Structure 1
Amino acid sequence: MKHSVALWFLLMALSGLGSRRSCAQSAAELRFETLTNAHGLTENSVYSITQDAKGFLWVGTQDGLSRYDGVGFRTFRSDARRPSSLASNFVLSLCHDQVGQLWVGTAGGLSRYNPRTGRFRTYRAEPGDSSGLTNNFIRAVYCDRQGRVWAGAEDGLHEISPAGRRFRLFRHAAKVAGSVRQNSVRALAQDRAGTLWVGTGEGAVSRLDTARRLLLTDPRLTPAGAITTLCPDRKGGLWVGSETGLLRYLPPANGATRVFVPGAAPGQLPPGAVRSLLEDQQGTIWVGTSEGLCRYEPATGTFSRIVHQPRQPLSLPDNTVQALFQGTSGLLWVGTEAGLAYTDPSPRPFGSIPVAAAPTPVWAVTSDSAGRLWIGTEEQGLVCYEPGSGQRRVFRHNPAQPGSLAQDFVRALCFGKDGRLWVGTQSQGLDCLLPGATEFVHYRHRTDKPGSLSDDFIRSLYQDRAGRLWVGTEGGLNRLDASAQRFTSFRNKPNDAGSLSNNFVRVTLQDRTGRLWIGTGGGGLCSFDPATGRFTTFRADGGNPRSLSSNFVRCLLQDQRGTLWVGTEGGGFCRLDDPAKGRFTVFRESEGLPNDVVYAMQEDQQSNIWLSTNKGLARFNPRTGQFHTFDERNGLLQDEFNAGASHRAADGRLYFGGVKGLVSFLPAAVQTNPVPPPVVLTGFRRFNRAVELPDTSITERRVLQLAPQDYFFSLEFAALNLRQAEKNRYAYMLEGFDKGWIEAGRRREATYTNLDPGQYTFRVRASNNDGVWNRQGAALRIIVTPPWYRTWWFRVGLSWAVFGLLFMAYRVRVRQLLALERVRHSIARDLHDDMGSTLSSISILSQIARNHQRQHRTEQAAAVLEQIGESSRRMLDAMDDIVWAINPAHDSLDDVAARMRAFASEVLEAHGIEFSFQVAPAVQGLKLNMRARREFFLLFKEAINNLAKYAQCRHARIQLAYEQGLLHLTVQDDGIGFDPIQPAQGGGNGLANMRSRAAAMAGHLLIETAPGQGTTLHLKVPLSD
């Protein structure tokens, strides 16, 4: 990278060797771009400037510290709530140490910035602590080549170890030789020999004797006034700036000093304090004063002064120059009271020709065999310029002289093979200047003279290989017959497709085959076949991308390979690929052209095509299709040019005319920036809000881990090429997500949403202002962590849980099937026991009834039939109970209670027993499974039947309740009761059946009774599946 930078500056130094006024910029020609708080600078009073190893520019102001990446600023300020913030907002001095840390001298202490963490560590004076700073007002901070950090405070000089752990104080001691001359240290600098120089507020400069650890003062280095700045030069000298002026000191080998006395005379240092000094990469000394910026001219020992010009937007923004710095880009950075300014002090390849005393539009340019330039201007006549001597001769229109120039507005120029100069005017026809003559011959349009010009508005002149002059006008194309002094006119004929397409002829060119090409203003491009006298027209077709891009043709060029190029108005420029089919390739702004209006084209000796536009000059490489744009910031006289105003001289120099004058340059001297830009990440945003990352800044970070909720984030990046940084271009890709590189143009941010969990790599690369790419760029590994429900441990746990649930479901299903099987067995048993026995008894009784009928015993037969009917009814009731029990619709206890009430009513009312049936609210909505419901209901039926048959009661009470997971059934009567040890006759089997059913439900049955005291039945059944 260092070799590339060195090559860049060597090329820039050589670039002006052949130019006229471009070999070296005068101080007055320097153009400054200014950055202020409107651009993001924290404050406009700039006191210090430096650049770190990555390429960031750091700017210390009166209200904070700013970091500049070529496009935007990031601000650092003091915040009492954050111990890791800047010591004070008043930043006085800056320097970078060998490990990349930034040291910041402020009015409130010394801060050290760690770029890895993005945090500051601040050192302040503590009362009674002599091991650290003794004063917080740090005017100067300097990092020497030995890795030490020096801080100049108001009461002495501090030597600080690189890690900031040890401080050593140098203070003035009246009787100690080698102490600091005065405690207020204002300036620090180290020369090439390694000597550290110290300037104080008293006006003395001392040097540090590192061996003896002493500060030695030379009495010759005691200018009047406080020392403000020090600058060692490459010749071993030391420049000393003070409140009263400037001196240059040569070390002991010479010992001479030169004092530059301020004054008002031209070439003198201006009155006022010297605020800053800089030796640039070319060895030029720059002096920032309170009255402007000065450049030292060693050849004359004088100063060129640059001051603020209120009416010039590209002038120095303010005369108080407090800081000077030159970074790796070669730009000169100037800190003023009105913002941060920068300029390019290197020689510029683009010069200009002094056409007139004031800026004058140039519409035509050519040269004669002697190398003199002939320049057609707008209202300033025809200028003949001698490049060697700089002499000018001007031809103007003089109404009193018929042989003078016909008009001062010259639109076209052409030298004939015989040395004649043909001059096309804006509206007064064609002039001819014979070799050695001083008067012009005039050719004008005359309606009464056949063979005259078709129109006096001349727009182009061209002489073909046969020596014929072609004159393009706003009224058609004219060919001059020199021998007859007559013009043959070609005009548009509406009904003739083989005629000229449009009468507004802007440009004419003959190709290698002898065909003539004519560019018109509205009729497209025409080719003329001299043999047939017919025209073929190529027009723009919006539906055909391979057609001519615009019908308004401004210029034509056939390159060394024979390719025809067409410059248009609003359509860029086109390459004619197939004349027979009219196929073109179009180049527009989207391909890199700075503007789609192309005024003129010239090919240089390296086969590059130069194009003038409304936004500067473009250099186009036909082999690569790459454009490079040059504008006023590159030293051009203007960005806007004029149609047809271009010329290539015999020495290869190119000329382009524009709205302010004539630009001149040697194409080989125009070098591009060969240094690929450093690429860094500058910011991380979450949901469009900037986020400060813990531990490691985004610039230094290699891995970024995102939580699941960080599903919308952005990464900001920058190419740290500060030279015309707005021309930097970017491309990025998220490996693992994007399918290829995304061309971002000037956009410096990439946004992603809803990334799947996993690992990705974000890559960004960039090109500099001249299109040189850093293909390696910057990379950041991004890990998107999954939400808890998508982690491996959750999935394993979920798998086990699902397996457990399935197993549990299987077990439940098995239990349900077993329970169903038991129910089936129970139903089958009941059907077999109850229904079987009942059917058997019915069968026997039926046989008995038949026997009684045969013997005509009617009464006996009727009694038997009555028994058969009773048995059938019992069987139907039992079947009804079974069907009801197995129906899931009756799981609710509400249905059970309703059936119980109906059964009790049917049985008890038939026996004249009054009863009450109470259901507690808590029972409502509860459910019983099929088996429990059947057992519960049958047990209840057994209890009611026993009550009706044996209790001999008048009243009964039935109650359902639910408490603590148990269903309570209470059946109470006021009957005769019985002895539980000796059950009543016929009730023993019933009690046994009820206990059996209670056990089947895992319930508990309790019967409270005694003879003559009635009976109470208590049943408690747990509700479960």
Structure 2
Amino acid sequence: MRCLCLLSCLLFCNYFPAIARPDFHYRYIPLPESLRDANINQVTPDSKGILWFFSSSGLHRYDGNQVLTFNLTTKPAILANSITCIFIDKTDHLWIATRKGLSRFDLKSWTTARIAPAGSTGDDTGPYITIMGQGLDGTIYVGTRDAKIYRVVQDELLLVADLGHLNPNEVGLASIESINEPVKGELWVVCNGRFVKLFPDAGRFMPPVFYPMKSLAGYINGQLYFAETGDIYFYLERKGIYIFNKHSGLLSRWQHPLNDSIRLRGRVFILPMGVGEMGLFINRIGFVTWNVNTRQCSEVLPIAPPYQRIFRVTTAKSHAGRTYLTLAKGVVLLEQQRTPFRSLLASAEETAIPQSIRCIHRHGNQLYMGSYQEGFIQVDEQTGEKKNIARNFIYTILPWQGDSLLLGSEGDGLLWYHTTKNTLQPFWQDTVQIPWQHRVLNKYTTALTRENDSLVWVGTYNGVYLLNVHTRTAHRLLPESVAGRALQQAKIFDILIAGKERYISTVEGLFLYRPESRELQRLFENTHPDYANESFYDILPVQDVFWGGTNGRGIVLFNRQQQILQEINTSNGLAGNAVYSLQRIGDDVIAATDQGLSIINLVNKQIKNYARHDQLPSNEFNHSAVCRYGNQVYLGTLNGIVAFNMQELVAYHPGKSPVNISFTSFTTGNKSGLQHDFTLPYQSAPALTVSPDIQYFSLRFGGVDPTVSQFYYYYRLNQEAPWQEVGPQQEIAFAGMAPGHYQLQLAARIPGQAVFRELLSIPLTVVPAFYQTWWFRMCVVLAAGVLVFLAFRYRMMQLLKEQQLRSKIAADLHDEVGSSLTRIYFQADMLSMQSGESTALQKIAAASKYALGMMSDMVWSIDARFDTAADLVSRIKDYLNNLQQELDITCVLELQGDYTSRALQQRVRQNFFLIFKEAMTNAARYTSTPAITVRLTFGATTTALLVCNHCSGDSNRMKNYQGGQGMANMQRRAAGMKGALQVSREKDRYCLLLQVPC
């Protein structure tokens, strides 16, 4: 009788999707825009939760963020677009039945293959398949439109039975509607309104058993439920639900009040829900469960009012505790409630207008609430009946005496509502009673707090006033102070009465008012100026400490001395930094935030957070939308109400994984374009390998669970690396990654938690190019070493050849030219002593002698055997000795530094000596004293020559003349050695300094 009354309420009242069946709820799965107008058929999830379904345009795969469509021209291609049903077996093979036969889609290899009848040719058209099923041993069976049953054996269709002799239907055929093997060795088939039992035995079939059921006429839905008692539950179109016992052969009608209404209402889908329990989804009514052992029926989980028109289910499929309902324009997931949270008035479809709840009050079994979508509404918590009371936007509700409620509205001022009389009337019948300056301001009420039996604090968009309910007089708090003027310009959120103090939460800060002294002050102006202008939504006293919910700082704890004691925000575990309401139940504080719900334990200081993945209708709550009824808590969100029992919530322990998610595709890019691999979810040991020619690659992940889009994702490439933020998008892209072996880990951060929950992990190998391998680098090093050695060897050979050539030239000059000049010199000298032309011959002898000296210097300079500093010093000493004898002057040679083992290049040695000779010639010509100082310094980085002599006469003339044209030659020679030549004069001392780098 109870179910009948309940059904009547459901059929003739607006529905309210929630608490009648708390352990199930609907969730709309949004499909991409490309499929919004398609007629979706037979949604089937694979082992990874990825959805497969078909439409008139072909086969579709949806992984939560990407749709793949397969038709006659895609790769891989399907057999035909005229799909009749699909089936996914336990080995991730997708079987596609069409009007032209059967094909198999291997998800692991991403290939399709046609399964043709045995003995047919490749060009033959396959049978028109209407249904598929799988035996307990994994055998695939198919039923055809002409009442034939096949099984798949070694990629061929073998005929099992031909039931075409059964009574044909209106088109002259007897099609197969259902194939099941509930018990090993019994294959149950529905063919044209009757049951047929077949007996597979070692690959053969014994003669079938027919159950005529002549008393029934009509279409039997292919979805059956087989009970352990032998009862088979099935739905007969326009007749209701029947029970057939396979042992006794008796046929009976399901004796339940719902069955009569089902016959007149919509199509019924029978779904297995577990051992001894089946589910019934009834179009235009809702969902119930039936326990076949206890014969008990659950209360109906109705369909939300906005979706009754579109909730016309065409197919239903149960998998892993979830039921997928295929609508004409979308997919709805019917799943078991796994958390203590119950959603009231929540939208199952994310694209629908949400039901934003501003305030809640419970009176008996009735819930009164203010909704931005529907105004002021009433809901019966037991039956789910909803009633729209008025279109006023009610912001806050204050229970008064008996059945009276004082309502604060946005735009209509204060209102009285009487629950028993169901009457709504303005608080002020005559607006003359309101002081003129308050009339407009009082229309927008945001907070109501009862002072006593007569007085009420009323918060508005512009300040607060104290109202006497009986006399209907009001006065505002107008102290002549800066705080008073700021308060009367602020939007009021909450008013807390704490002994002799009144705390007023506003958008402009937190104010303290003491009625006895009429003192008003803005808190924290003197102690913590940063908090003075912070927006406060709510104040909760906890022992001697006040907890303040703020707009951006989370929860601020302070004492009566206005000292900030602590901040609780997202940095230390709170779900969100905007806290709209605070409630305390026992040792727990409930904080409703903009990013979820937080439960703070006062004893152990632990914080537990809950969000959309815990089946909350929304992550964001509304200010003042809170109601407590014992341990039962009701909170208003942007999408309906969430209700829960505090004891059940404390005992609830969420699972480790917040969502059902998997890697869905792997994309690589090179010069040839993009390549996609969609087999990744189905590999037994998935791993990623990136070849050297890949310039870019990305990894997609996702799931059809709507909460997948609610998280921020992070990844890292090894256990020690820091987490890198991906954001809400479900793809990780890489370019130019260094070669190596990585372990790619994907994690999600739960809102309000700093802990990363690892979701997935996969090995990643980036193969190096040949030029990035160790052996190539070693070969390069060896080749470079060989080249350096060959270059050094070649250079040494060239130097050796140069030295040999220089020694040969010097020897040739010395032997050939030197001997000739020597003979000329001696012959001229002898002739000068014998003949009368002594003067001319002496000149010839002198020139020959000078040429011999020049040739000797040249031979010395190019001879490679003298490329040392010691030879240079020896040559300089010889030159100085000869110069002293010839000119009768004194030369002092000073040697500094070690030169015995120092080598000199031929070019340096030659130019250095020539500059020395020129300098000595100039010094000997212009010196005024017989002493010339020569200093040779062999340093670590330079070799220096200093020649100094005394001079007399006009100093400017001497400075400019000494050296003459030879100075330019000396500068040129010094530059050729990359050295520097400087001349200086101090009083009567003239010096020439040559510095050459070693």
With the shorter chain as reference, the TM-score category is 0.5 to 0.7
Q: In the alignment, what sits opposite 2:549?
A: 566
Q: Quote the Cα distance in structure 1 between the aligned partners of 2:84 and 2:386.
A: 52
Q: In the alignment, what sits opposite 1:557?
A: 540
Q: In the alignment, what sits opposite 2:715?
A: 732
Q: In the alignment, what sits opposite 1:646?
A: 626
Q: Which structure's residues are more often strand, by fraction?
A: 2
Cα deviation code 1:663-712 (max 9, x no counterpart): 76645567786362444222222349752359977865543232334343
Classify 1:803/1:95 alpha carbon distance in 2 versus 1 (closer, same or farther; 3 Å).
Answer: same
Q: In the alignment, what sits opposite 1:93?
A: 85
- Select the residue among 804, 817, 822 that pairs with 1:840: 822
Cα deviation code 1:177-231 (max 9, x no counterpart): xxxx98854432232666322234x444322213472352433357656766242
Classify 1:824/1:351 alpha carbon distance in 2 versus 1 (closer, same or farther; 3 Å).
Answer: closer
Contact 2:573 2:754 in 1 (8 A): no
Contact 1:154 1:185 in 2 (8 A): yes
Classify 1:572/1:66 alpha carbon distance in 2 versus 1 (closer, same or farther; 3 Å).
Answer: farther
Contact 2:105 2:113 in 1 (8 A): yes
Classify 1:59/1:838 alpha carbon distance in 2 versus 1 (closer, same or farther; 3 Å).
Answer: same
Classify 1:339/1:389 alpha carbon distance in 2 versus 1 (closer, same or farther; 3 Å).
Answer: closer
Classify 1:216/1:657 alpha carbon distance in 2 versus 1 (closer, same or farther; 3 Å).
Answer: same
The structural deviation recorded for 1:76 is: 3.9
How many residues align? The count is: 812
Contact 1:62 1:89 in 2 (8 A): yes
Classify 1:566/1:144 alpha carbon distance in 2 versus 1 (closer, same or farther; 3 Å).
Answer: same
Q: In the alignment, what sits opposite 2:19?
A: 23
Contact 2:803 2:863 in 1 (8 A): no
Q: Quote the Cα distance in structure 1 between the aligned partners of 2:733 and 2:545.
A: 47
Cα deviation code 1:348-404 (max 9, x no counterpart): 824479xxxxx9998665568x898777899999999997899999999xxxxxxxx
* Counterpart mapping for 1:333-732 below 5 A: 333-344=324-335, 349-351=342-344, 366=361, 413-414=397-398, 456-457=442-443, 459-463=446-450, 469-472=456-459, 476-478=463-465, 489-493=476-480, 495-497=481-483, 501-502=487-488, 506-510=492-496, 514-520=500-506, 522-529=507-514, 532-538=517-523, 547=531, 550-551=534-535, 553-558=536-541, 562-566=545-549, 568=551, 571=552, 574-577=555-558, 580-581=562-563, 585=567, 600-604=581-585, 607-609=588-590, 611=592, 618=597, 620-621=599-600, 623=605, 625=607, 627-629=609-611, 644-649=624-629, 651-655=630-634, 666=645, 674=655, 676=657, 677-687=659-669, 690-693=674-677, 702-718=686-702, 720=703, 722=705, 724-732=707-715
Q: Quote the Cα distance in structure 2 between the aligned partners of 1:429 and 1:678.
A: 48
- Select the residue among 773, 787, 806 that pairs with 1:791: 773
Contact 1:172 1:182 in 2 (8 A): no
The structural deviation recorded for 1:607 is: 2.4
Classify 1:371/1:50 alpha carbon distance in 2 versus 1 (closer, same or farther; 3 Å).
Answer: closer
Cα deviation code 1:447-482 (max 9, x no counterpart): 9999x9998555433235999753445675445799
Counterpart amino acid of residue 648 in structure 1: R
Q: In the alignment, what sits opposite 1:206?
A: 196
Contact 2:668 2:676 in 1 (8 A): no
Q: In the alignment, what sits opposite 2:67?
A: 73
Q: Quote the Cα distance in structure 2 between the aligned partners of 1:243 and 1:791.
A: 70
The DSSP-based 3-state class of the residue aligned with 1:24 is coil
Whether 1:252 and 2:246 are equivalent positions in the alignment is: yes
Contact 1:647 1:654 in 2 (8 A): yes
Q: In the alignment, what sits opposite 2:45?
A: 51
- Select the residue among 231, 234, 237 that pairs with 1:237: 231
Cα deviation code 1:765-806 (max 9, x no counterpart): 347999999945322222223332232222232233223223
Classify 1:171/1:686 alpha carbon distance in 2 versus 1 (closer, same or farther; 3 Å).
Answer: same
**What is the TM-score with the length of structure 2 in the denominator?**
0.65
Contact 1:24 1:346 in 2 (8 A): no
Cα deviation code 1:422-458 (max 9, x no counterpart): 66676666979999999999799989999x9998555
Q: Which moved more, 1:875-884 or 1:639-648?
A: 875-884
Q: Quote the Cα distance in structure 2 between the aligned partners of 1:434 and 1:147.
A: 62
The DSSP-based 3-state class of the residue aligned with 2:245 is coil
Contact 2:668 2:674 in 1 (8 A): yes
The structural deviation recorded for 1:518 is: 0.5
Q: Quote the Cα distance in structure 1 between the aligned partners of 2:700 and 2:386.
A: 55
Cα deviation code 1:117-168 (max 9, x no counterpart): 33334323475469x999354333322222222233456322235xx45754
Classify 1:868/1:240 alpha carbon distance in 2 versus 1 (closer, same or farther; 3 Å).
Answer: same
Classify 1:194/1:37 alpha carbon distance in 2 versus 1 (closer, same or farther; 3 Å).
Answer: farther
Q: Quote the Cα distance in structure 1 between the aligned partners of 2:224 and 2:693.
A: 54
The DSSP-based 3-state class of the residue aligned with 1:117 is coil
Cα deviation code 1:959-980 (max 9, x no counterpart): xxxxxxxxxxxxxxxxxxxxxx
Q: In the alignment, what sits opposite 1:902?
A: none
The DSSP-based 3-state class of the residue aligned with 2:104 is strand
Q: Quote the Cα distance in structure 1 between the aligned partners of 2:246 and 2:56.
A: 39
The DSSP-based 3-state class of the residue aligned with 2:771 is helix
Q: Quote the Cα distance in structure 2 between the aligned partners of 1:193 and 1:101.
A: 22
Counterpart amino acid of residue 88 in structure 1: A
Q: Which moved more, 1:530-539 or 1:837-846?
A: 530-539
**What is the TM-score with the length of structure 1 in the denominator?**
0.63
Cα deviation code 1:21-56 (max 9, x no counterpart): 8432599x9867364562568x83333332233322
- Select the residue among 807, 813, 825 that pairs with 1:825: 807
Classify 1:690/1:464 alpha carbon distance in 2 versus 1 (closer, same or farther; 3 Å).
Answer: farther
Q: Quote the Cα distance in structure 2 between the aligned partners of 1:252 and 1:770.
A: 56
Classify 1:183/1:498 alpha carbon distance in 2 versus 1 (closer, same or farther; 3 Å).
Answer: closer
Contact 2:813 2:859 in 1 (8 A): no
The DSSP-based 3-state class of the residue aligned with 2:588 is coil
The DSSP-based 3-state class of the residue aligned with 1:692 is strand
The structural deviation recorded for 1:508 is: 4.5
Counterpart amino acid of residue 701 in structure 2: F
Counterpart amino acid of residue 746 in structure 2: V
Whether 1:103 and 2:95 are equivalent positions in the alignment is: yes
- Select the residue among 759, 783, 790 that pairs with 1:808: 790
* Counterpart mapping for 1:27-176 below 5 A: 33=28, 35-36=30-31, 38=33, 44-79=38-73, 85-125=77-117, 128=120, 135-154=126-145, 156-161=148-153, 164=154, 168-172=158-162
Unpaired segments of 5 or more residues in structure 2?
Answer: 1-14, 167-171, 347-353, 865-905, 907-998
Q: In the alignment, what sits opposite 1:741?
A: 723
